[in-house]
Amino acid sequence: MDKHLAAGNTVDLMSYAPEHFRWEQQGSVGLITLNRPERKNPLTFDSYAELRDLFRTLCYAPAVKAIVVQGAGGNFCSGGDVHEIIGPLTQMSMPDLLAFTRMTGDLVKAMRACPQPVIASIDGVCAGAGAIIAMASDMRVGTARSKTAFLFTRVGLAGCDMGACAILPRIVGQGRASDLLYTGRSLGGEEGYSWGFLNRLVEPEQVLETALALATDLASGPSFGHAMTKKMLHQEWAMGVDEAIESEAQAQAICMMTQDFHRAYHAFVAKQKPVFEGN
């Protein structure tokens, strides 16, 4: 992928074959599967980096218009692998530890920066870094048996990992985020839905189907407009209301220059459903 990016070209991910997780492109929807089901899909140093690199590359993949992330075998992700990450971390120097924590944070930055909406399909265990990946997604589909836990204090660390103290309160509120980040307790699916952490609550056999249907629906929409919505949702955190209104005026004026906007108008006049092409 690097040579294409250096040349300033777009990237075709149809034949992309990552080493540390599965990738499938179903039409214009990309499906990431964390695929170590025998250990509830933990992350390693290499899988962190490969996920980060994929989300960075998605900025150059306009044929992919939405992303779904799931885990294999009835669980989402159990976080950092105890033997392959946690153990080695106890032997590292401060510079190496900081390089690692910055790298994990770069995964969240890359998820936020890619233009595609990201949907987490959550079943079973969703813990530690797995909970962060779910949190960093734009939307979350879960089940009643899903268990989301920000476990960092349980292993003697702070709850402020990979942007959790900034992002989680914006999803569930400051008090509820404090509850989860201080205690490290599990957030069940029904409670997560009532709190607004989960956008949809479905049966286990429907969770991937529902996430893919949502992603497919978004992928059929105005992808340039969705990318602008995502950028403004993140960018406006650091703005006052007046700045936000001005930024949205500029963003909307840019979107009005797209052919998708014109297609929607002509379809409305003709009493037809618009077909969006992302330009």
pLDDT < 50 regions, the chain: 3-4, 6-7
- Would you say the CATH fold of 223-269 matches that of 2-219? no
118 touches 137 (CB < 8 A):
yes
Note if the pTM is more than 0.85.
yes
Where does 2-219 sit in CATH, by number?
Answer: 3.90.226.10
Q: What is the pLDDT of residue 155?
A: 85
| Ordered DSSP codes for the chain | -HHHHHTT-----TT---SSSEEEEETTEEEEEE--GGGT--B-HHHHHHHHHHHHHGGG-TT--EEEEEESTT--B--B-IIIIIHHHTT--HHHHHHHHHHHHHHHHHHHHSSS-EEEEE-SEEETHHHHHHHHSSEEEEETT-EEE-GGGGGT--S--TTHHHHHHHHH-HHHHHHHHHH--EEEHHHHHHHTS-SEEE-GGGHHHHHHHHHHHHHTS-HHHHHHHHHHHHHGGGS-HHHHHHHHHHHHHHHTTSHHHHHHHHHHHTT--------
Q: What is the pLDDT of residue 6?
A: 44
Q: What is the pLDDT of residue 84?
A: 81
Q: What is the pLDDT of residue 2?
A: 52
Q: What is the pLDDT of residue 279?
A: 83
Q: What is the pLDDT of residue 4?
A: 47
Phi and psi at residue 177, to the nearest 5°: -60, -40
- The ranges assigned to domains in the chain are 2-219, 223-269
Q: What is the pLDDT of residue 82?
A: 80
Where does 223-269 sit in CATH, by number?
Answer: 1.10.12
- Residues above pLDDT 90, as percent of the chain: 75
Q: What is the pLDDT of residue 8?
A: 61
What is the per-residue burial (b if ≥16 Cβ within 10 Å, else e) of 14-39?
A: eebebebbebebeebbbbbbbebeee
